[in-house]
Structure 1
Amino acid sequence: MALRRFVVVFVSRRNTLRSMLAQACLSHLGSERFAAYSCGHPAHLRDTIDPAAISALASARMPVPTQLPRSWSELTRSGSPQANFVITLDAEMLSLQPRWPGQPDAALWDFPDVAAMSHPEESARAALLMLYALRRRLELMVSLPLHGPDRDAIRSDVRDLAYMQ
């Protein structure tokens, strides 16, 4: 009997760095239990994945997501995978998000906007540090007993991961 895969959506402003790192990391760590997606604000999307994200993923030997940055409107339309968890990586995007179908559990794991840094070397280093921080959180998330009957405890555990350093 196959276990149900949990759908996790990561949200950031442009969907070029933070959410791409999180999607790639969760796909790397838990693809048998999780389907990871990423998206951004429709007005702020970029055309390509940030070079700092590509560099960080290469350093960690993780594959770069194959899809281009996408809007959250693509993940809220009919026929899209229904999220179990929406994890917002940019506090400014929290109040701007659409209503997600199915009322998924939500968490804020706020990370700085590394893609907005002016020096590429700083951005690349910050992206790698962010990837390591995301990896620690996601390793714990992957190990959570998500099929348990206490939905409130699971929701709290995912939200509490935001406070890890």
Structure 2
Amino acid sequence: MELESSDQLAVLGHPQRLAVFRLLMRRYPDRVPAGELSGALGVKPSTMSTYLSALLRAGLVAQDRVGTSLLYSVNMTAVQQLFGFLFQDCCRGRPDICTDLSMFPSPESAAMTDRKYNVLFICTGNSARSIFAESLLRSLGQDRFTAYSAGTTPKSELNPFALQVLQDKGHDIGDLRAKNVSELSGPDAPEMDFVFTVCNQAANEECPAWDGQPISGHWGMEDPVKATGTNAQKSLAFQQAYGALKRRIEAFTALPVSSLDRIALQQAVDDIGRVTPETTQ
């Protein structure tokens, strides 16, 4: 294990390979095409292929073929073994000499408490998908959650097709607006319990570090704003996005949050993001 870990650390010692690894960690449990990784990091496809080959040889990344496409994801088992080796061998099992003890909840605090939880949905423009998610959680959360949404590069106005869908579904749109994530990450911002990215571009970006170690998840989905065709066809794309998010948020609100420890809750959140839900109108 020591030799294998040394090889893995050597691979991660290269700044660009580390950047690829970090991006795949943010996108977990997604499987990401090499072309998308190249575009997100501004790396030539041939260079990205070299980086991915090194990560594959080290066992840190897995490769899957879907049709004619090669998709890449973090090999979480190998990553956990590497972290476990570092903790046991280098830290001698002592978190106090390696990191902040607050990152290791005590058994008494391992489970989430029974209270109202703050949930943030992040997208790029904060004009459609994250707005849908915020509105849906407000409606489906039964006062168990306080929902927020924000964008990494928010639009000046909400998408009119998105607003029409929300109105048709009976949501109150009076106080909805596009916001920058900086509004919700300052010292006076509410502490988030959950942070979800609902578009791949936002997940590919370096988002602010959130205080309090929130549960995070990636629920990426197609961008309805990019739909083409007639207004009816565009409207259908927004309705499908709304339906897909509704299924995911229904699954999330059904979780017994207060009775799950953080590991089980993180697994449940990842499982929701891993499954592509059927759309509903």
Q: Same fold (TM over 0.5)?
A: yes
Distance 1:149 1:138, change over 3 A: closer
Structure 1 unaligned regions, length at least 5: none
> How many angstroms does 1:67 deviate by?
3.4
Report the count of equivalent residues.
161
> How many angstroms does 1:140 deviate by?
1.5
Letter in 1 for 2:168: S
Q: Which has the larger radius of gyration?
A: 2
Letter in 2 for 1:109: W
Structure 2 unaligned regions, length at least 5: 1-113
Which of the residues 197, 216, 236 maps onto 1:125?
236
The aligned residue for residue 208 of structure 2 is 98
Q: Percent identity, aligned pairs only?
A: 29
> How many angstroms does 1:31 deviate by?
4.4
Matches within 5 A, 1:5-84: 5-41=116-152, 44-64=153-173, 66-84=175-193
Q: Separation in 2 of the partners of 1:54 and 1:8?
A: 21
Q: Separation in 1 of the partners of 2:121 and 2:131?
A: 8
Work out whether residues 20 and 65 of structure 1, in 8 Å CA contact, stay in contact via their aligned partners in 2: no
Instruction: Spell out, residue by residue over 1:83-129, the C-alpha distance to the aligned partner (whole angstroms, 9 max, x if none).
Output: 11111011121142111121211111011121233444333211111
Distance 1:106 1:129, change over 3 A: same
Work out whether residues 215 and 262 of structure 2, in 8 Å CA contact, stay in contact via their aligned partners in 1: no
The aligned residue for residue 74 of structure 2 is none
Q: Separation in 2 of the partners of 1:129 and 1:95?
A: 23
Instruction: Spell out, residue by residue over 1:18-77, the C-alpha distance to the aligned partner (whole angstroms, 9 max, x if none).
Output: 000000000011141000000001xx3111111111111122222226132000011100
What is the root-mean-square deviation of aligned Cα atoms in Å?
1.5
Instruction: Spell out, residue by residue over 1:120-165, the C-alpha distance to the aligned partner (whole angstroms, 9 max, x if none).
Output: 4333211111111111111121111101242111111112111142
Q: Separation in 2 of the partners of 1:160 and 1:65?
A: 33
Q: Separation in 2 of the partners of 1:65 and 1:76?
A: 24
> Highest relative contact order (Cα 8 Å, sep 6+), 1 or 2?
1
Work out whether residues 82 and 101 of structure 1, in 8 Å CA contact, stay in contact via their aligned partners in 2: yes
Using the size of structure 1 for normalisation, the TM-score is 0.90
